[in-house]
Structure 1
Amino acid sequence: MGFNGKYSIGILLTFILLAAAMLYSNPLITLITGMGKITADHFFLSRILLWVILIIVFLYSIFVEKGTFLLKEEKKYSAAFYSKAALILYFICILGGAILNTFMMFVIEEKISTKLLNLIPIFRNNYFLIIFTCLTAAIVEELLMRGYLQPRIEKMYNNPAIGIIISAVLFGILHSTYGTISQVLGPFFIGIVFAIFYKRYSNIKILMICHFMIDFIAMMIMNFMDIKHLSVF
């Protein structure tokens, strides 16, 4: 099997595993542990599952593809560049996400995700879970979506734009389990911004930092905000 065939299987494997984790991790954990409802421990185990998926894909890249996990060599930059790039990316994503959310609220009067509302009490003042969840999303999602998928899609089609678009589409689809259009369009927009940055600057660590900032600040705001005001946020 050629590299394109191995890359195709790896891309499909990654997406299927992530989709299955998003859709079926809660029922699976309930079946194994007997926990009837989603608790902090329940959610923590679902994040552990994402790390397991990262390990599986990493092993696939080493033993099946017989190559490196990251096809793009990491470029080194100064500490000042890290700080500036992370902040610029953060504000681009927040501003773009706010515009998209406002547009959706006016066009279809979309309400806040029920799944998100159900998760808020689990995170309330649980700072360990907040930090672990944000770190998991930042590291696992960036390594898989930008580090693994994007360059392989680009190589398969010999087209950087296709790598950027498809990886962003998949990133948006994986967030559809929250049940709202905004929760798909927001990640899709972030996926486009992050993918363009990764193509241009070849540094996954800056994306991890920015991803962590986006999730952590949002979760801390929700932690201290009254639930009834979240629709405005």
Structure 2
Amino acid sequence: MQDQLSATQTNKTVIVIGIIIAAVFPSVAMELFGRLHIMPTQSLFYSRFIFWGEVLFLWWYAEQYENQKLIIWKEKESGVNFIIKWICFLFLLAMAANMVSAITKLLGFPENYPLMRAMAKFLSDKPFLIIFISATAGFCEEVIFRGYVLTRLTSFFKNEYIPVIISGVLFSAMHYKYHSAREFVFTFLFGMIAGLHYNYYRNIKPLIIVHFLVDWAALSLLHHFVK
């Protein structure tokens, strides 16, 4: 039974609307949220509920209008050994992507140190908040951009890599709010890595866990890198 979305099974307009909502809603919602005059660091916590709300909406939208599940791809490979192996390997690839993204600094693109310092101060001695933020990013962003956007894009392209690239660009664009070229490059590379893995193995579990670990490590160690 084919697990890839077919444009003949679901109205293309419905799919396009879903992709637009999935890709654009977080940025628009956070932009509007930012106008509530809440401190940027505090909005880091409150805005996480936007992502949980979007996942619930996409689940409802897929069931109600697409007449299918939110996650439509069946896993090609799974099991504890598979997941552990790929958690380790994907984490190393993410670290490599982070090192590559540092090239932007050599090219003259500065880091957004004021925001980083504010975040480090706000998150200091808040381990459970870091876990919540990281878990939200790991689960929600992977479900939105890999589980939903990537899979729906495949119905419009014969080339399997074009949806991976587009979903990676959309994932990266969502992080523009940090106003950091390095963050933009890193999230694009990470999005490509995650997209290629999901396109091949169709198992989102290791991606969610690795995404969580990457964000958790970055936020936990942030105060060591900014003064």
Query: Normalising to structure 1: TM-score of the pair?
Result: 0.87
RMSD over aligned CA atoms reads 1.8
Deviation per CA, 1:42-67, whole angstroms, max 9, x where unpaired? Answer: 43221112111111111111101111
**Aligned counterpart, 2:65:** 64
Q: Secondary structure at the match of 1:6?
A: helix
Helix, strand or coil at the partner of 1:208: helix
Whether the aligned pair in 1 keeps the contact of 2:105 and 2:111 (CA below 8 Å) is: yes
Separation of aligned partners in 2, 1:153 and 1:18: 18
Work out the CA distance in 1 between the residues paired with 2:145 and 2:109.
Answer: 30
Partner of 2:17: 9
Alignment partner, residue 34 of structure 2: 26
Deviations 1:99-120 (A, max 9, x none): 221x111111523353333222
Instruction: Extract unaligned runs of 5+ from structure 1.
Output: 31-35, 229-233
TM-superposed CA distance for 1:182, in Å, is 1.1
Which structure 2 residues correspond to residues 1-233 of structure 1 after superposition, within 5 A?
A: 2-28=10-36, 30=37, 36-38=38-40, 40=42, 42-101=43-102, 103-223=103-223, 225=224, 227-228=226-227
Superposition TM-score, scaled by structure 2 size: 0.89
Higher relative contact order (CA 8 A, sep 6+): 2
CA apart distance, 1:181? 1.1
Alpha-carbon distance between aligned partners in 1 of 2:19 and 2:57, rounded to the nearest angstrom: 12
Contact 1:168 1:188 in 2 (8 A): yes
SS at match of 1:73: coil
Unaligned stretches of 5+ residues in structure 2: 1-7
Structure 1 residue runs of 4 or more that deviate by more than 3 Å after TM superposition: none
Distance in 2 between residues matched to 1:131 and 1:90, nearest whole Å: 17
Structure having the larger proportion of residues in helix: 1
Percent identity over the alignment is: 25
Secondary structure, counterpart of 1:108 in structure 2 = coil
CA distance in 1 between partners of 2:63 and 2:158 (Å): 22
